[in-house]
Amino acid sequence: QKEVEQDPGPLSVPEGAIVSLNCTYSNSAFQYFMWYRQYSRKGPELLMYTYSSGNKEDGRFTAQVDKSSKYISLFIRDSQPSDSATYLCAMKDGGGSNYKLTFGKGTLLTVNP
C-alpha cells in the first residue's frame, strides 16, 4: 500500500461547479498536510497547508483534514477555467527537522468555460 493515494482523475467540470479533490494516507505520523497546484509545464506552488484536523478556508478554497479517517480534501467553490491544473496533495510528519514531503500523484482538473 502506498503511503499516499490520490485519484489521478482526470476530472472535468463546468465553470462554477464545486470541485472535491481527495487523498488518503496510511502513515499516522503525518501531521502537516498541503495542497500544491501545478499548471502544465510549470513547477508546483503551495496553495494551502493545514496542521490539524478540521477545515481551513482561503477564498474559494477549503482544505479539510480528518486524521481519524486518514483522509484529506480540497474543495474549490465557483471553479474557474484558471483553476485548471494538476493538484498534488503532500504531507509530512511532525518531526522538527524532518524535511521529507510525501506527495500524491496529483489529480488533473479541467474547468470548462
Interface with another protein, residue 42, by CB under 8 A: yes
Which of 14, 43, 59, 113 binds another protein (CB under 8 A)? It is 43
DSSP letters for 30-76: EEEEEEEEE-TTS--EEEEEE-SSEEEEETTEEEEEETTTTEEEEEE
Q: Least distance to another protein from the beta carbon of 39, Å?
A: 9
- Closest approach, Cβ 110 to another protein, in A, equals 15
Whole-number Cα distances in Å, 108 to 34, 74, 96, 97:
17, 13, 32, 31
Q: Are 111 and 10 in contact (CB under 8 A)?
A: no
CB of 3 to another protein, least distance (A): 10
> Is there binding between residue 1 and another protein (CB under 8 A)?
no
Binding footprint of another protein on the chain (CB under 8 A): 4, 8, 32, 34, 41-46, 49, 51, 88, 90-92, 95-106
